Amino acid sequence: MTDIYVQDNGKKRKATAKELEQFEKDHLEYEAEQKRIEAETAKKEADRASAMAKLSKLGLTDDEIASLIP
């Protein structure tokens, strides 16, 4: 594993075991949040596409749909 360094009072030093553990925890939380955001975005896009398809089946034109759904 590559060493991780931190700044401490303007000096570079190797991270402690506790700092490495916190870094790993923060990184895992970040990845989980990114996955949550991606899933939420994909759902919103799917919901938007579904709404547009339903409006189209009702006979609305693409321009009319665009004015309703930005």
Question: pLDDT tens-digit profile of 11-24?
Answer: 999 999 999 999 99
Q: Residue type for 4, please?
A: I
Measured distance CA(49)–CA(55) in Å, rounded: 10
Q: Is the pLDDT of residue 61 over 80?
A: yes
Measured distance CA(66)–CA(69) in Å, rounded: 5
**Stretch 43-56: mean pLDDT:** 95
Q: Is the pLDDT higher at 42 or at 70?
A: 42
- Which region holds residue 9: left if phi is over 0, alpha if psi is between -120 and 50, else beta? left
